[in-house]
Amino acid sequence: MINLIGNEFKKIFKKKTIYILLIITIGYIVLSNIMTKITNDYQYGYYFYDESDVKYYESKLSDLDPNNVSDLSDYIDYKKNIELINLAKNYEPNSWQIYIIDTNIQGYLETMIEHQYSDEISDKAYNEAKKSYDEAVKKLNENDWKFFANKDLESVNSSLEEQYNLKESTKDAQELQQINQTIYSLEIEKRINEWRLEKNIDYSASFLNNALNEYENSMTALSDYNTKDIEELDSQELQEYREYLQSANLNKYYIENNLSLDSNSRSIFLNLFGNYEVFIILIGIVIAGSIVSEEFNRGTIKLLLVKPYNRIKILMSKFIVCILILLLSIGIIYISQLLIGGLINGFDGLSEPAIVYDFNTNKVEQINIFAYVALLGICKLPIYILLTTLAFTCSTLFTNTAISVAVPFLGYIASSIINQFALLYDLKWIIYFVTPNWDLTCYLFGSSPLFKGLTAPFSIIICVIYLILLLVISSIVFKKRDIKNI
């Protein structure tokens, strides 16, 4: 068997295909890291208008008459946007000032412009808006972001006090529910502003500022589940609930521990299998899809079968080599991303552990980043092995390389469609099919699978059954294959 495996390796490494696939894969790894480095500045960026927008608004203004009631609203809006852009030019892109201009200042500016063209705005309203605007611009220039954070906190506390007072005087159940929902949202806002001041997180585009926003979004989404029995949620609702719960807890952990994990090489490495899975699968099915069929197409199968080995040993040696090449390709991609990602984006982020939320303990845990990615790889192996085995079986059945590569690749692409279709039509029998079972990452850290009723042992058994079934079919066909006319 060892000699057969050695001979198969020699055959494979004489093929140009394996080297072409590896070169393409490594080239893609290099490109992905370079593109990530180039686009890093926009990872948490704020969008603001540019010079072309100013010209556009000015051209629009020239076509409008502020004395015409039908044109007034658009005229004020375009005028306001021009003033905002001119103000934003004084500050760095993605700075906290840009955020404040976009969220806080435009209201004051709009009131001021409305006063110039509308009789509905009083002098008092204009003066108040002008005073607030001038004060805000002064704080922008003084780099005093805490002024706005404290102001937001004061506003939230005032709104909370109003809502609690309103709650005490309200008896209607429906109104109470709406008040409680408002209080819930305001409490989240309050916590965000307290964290911002406590952890010194300004409004600039950054990992921690993004964590504050993600925490707020996740907690707001979780409020929809407060009145529901979690056990009664369907599979898709439970998945969504767990995603929001995980996001809220992870971002809370980042904020409370002041962790800024925005290293490019780290983020790509953590998502290694998401980024490069298609290349792993492609290498596996191209090798497995041609390893038997090419022997028949070239007629070399006769030379192989006259050797003192039975057919099953010959077939199994080929299959073992396919699996070893698959594992080797995963190792090459793992190491390549480590080295290439580190050289292009730096190795610093790789010293930080992976942060995960464990649903079993309801706690955030730290795991060695290399062990975490390796664990993901182990849980993804059933997908890669089964698709490689399917290609191997097709190669044995059809002795046609094109079909043997196309069938498993199309199966991989269609797998998510199959799962979604089964969810949509509530097909209970789908749990006995391979696609809901072959990704074992859904069981990590107490996570839940896509379909109710699935467990890790059940999924492993299903995968093993399909694997054995494919190998048995391959063995029967190969053993009975007539080679006289080849």
- Overall average pLDDT of the 151-159 stretch: 94
pLDDT band at 171 (very low <50, low <70, confident <90, very high): confident
How far is 435 from 275, CA to CA, in rounded Å? Answer: 20
Nearest to 470 by CA among 302, 292, 329: 292
| Whole-prediction pTM | 0.83
Which run of H or E residues covers position 356?
strand 354-358
Q: What is the pLDDT of residue 474?
A: 92
How far is 156 from 152, CA to CA, in rounded Å? Answer: 6
pLDDT band at 117 (very low <50, low <70, confident <90, very high): confident
Q: What is the pLDDT of residue 448?
A: 82
Q: 363 has which bridge partners?
A: 358
Of 106-120, 127-141, 259-273, which one has max mean pLDDT?
Answer: 127-141
Q: What percent of the chain has pLDDT over 70?
A: 93
